[in-house]
Amino acid sequence: MGYFMKRLCTICARGGSKGLPNKNIRQMVGKPLIAHSILQAKSSGLFEAIAVSSDSMKILDISKKFGADYSVLRPPELASDLAPKLPAIQHCVNEVETLSGEKFDVIVDLDATSPLRITKDIEGAVKLLEDKNVSNVITGCPARRSPYFNLVEQDERGCVHLSKPPEQIITRRQDAPECFDMNASIYVWSRSGLIGSKSVFNADTLLFVMPEERSIDVDHEWEFEYVEFLFNKRTSL
C-alpha cells in the first residue's frame, strides 16, 4: 500500500435522524455510536487526519472527545432529509483542506451507522484503490436476493416480473451471476475521483467485499439492538 499518500477520513453524521432519533450519539456497548468509527479510523493508522461533518454541535463535541481532528459544521442545505451524502463529503474535504492547508490524495468515508466493520476492512478497501489506481472503491456484501432469480418488481398493473430477466431461464440461484448489496460502510476515493463527482459510480469503480455480519447499517431500533448483540457476542469470544 502506498504509505506516502496523504489520507483523510471523513465521517458524516446528521443530528436529525427520523427513524432512530439521536442514533449517532446513542450509547452502544459503552460508547456513542459514532465513536466506534472514529476509533476504527485511529486504530488503522492510515490517516493524516479524521474529520467529522455534522449539523449538530453535540455530535461534533462528542467526536472531538473521541479523537476527531476536525469538526466541520455542515450547512443546512446539506443536512436535510432529502440531501444526498456525496455533497456533504465533498464539503467536508474542502473545509479540512482549507483549514489545514493540505491536499489529500485519498479520501475514505466511514459510515457512522455501520460500526461492525473492522480495521482489516478499511485497510483492504484502501489497498484495493491504491494498488489498482482507480477513481473509487465501494463496499458491499453478497446479496441475499438476485435480480436474475428471486428479486421482482411490480409493473403499472401490479403484475410482478424479475428485476433483470436473464436471456435464458435460471432455475437455481447459484447459477445466476453473483450480485452484491452495497453496504455503504466504507467509500474510498482518489482526490480527483471525488472532487466534482456527482455519483459514487465511475467507469472504474471497484468493489471491496465484506461479510454480511459486518455489513449491517443502523437505521431502526431492531437494527441497533441486533448490532449491539453482535458486538457483545464478538467481545465475549
* Of 169 and 134, the one with more pLDDT: 134
Q: How confident is the model at residue 2 (pLDDT cuts 50, 70, 90)?
A: very low
* Of 190 and 15, the one with more pLDDT: 190
CATH number of this structure's domain 7-141+181-236, picked from the four choices 3.40.50.300, 3.90.550.10, 3.50.50.60, 3.40.50.2000: 3.90.550.10
3-state secondary structure the chain: CCCCCCEEEEEECCCCCCCCCCHHHCEECCEEHHHHHHHHHHHHCCCCEEEEEECCHHHHHHHHHCCCCEEEECCHHHCCCCCCHHHHHHHHHHHHHHHHCCCCCEEEEECCCCCCCCHHHHHHHHHHHHHHCCCEEEEEEECCCCCCCCCEEECCCCCEEECCCCCCCCCCHHHCCCCEEEEEEEEEEEHHHHCCCCCCCCCCCEEEECCHHHCCCCCCHHHHHHHHHHHHHHHHC
List, for residues 118-160, the tens digit of each pLDDT value. 999 999 999 999 999 999 999 999 999 999 998 999 999 999 9
Domain boundary assignment for the chain: 7-141+181-236, 144-178
List, for residues 196-214, the tens digit of each pLDDT value. 899 999 999 999 999 999 9
- pLDDT of 3 strictly over 90: no
- pLDDT of 110 strictly over 50: yes
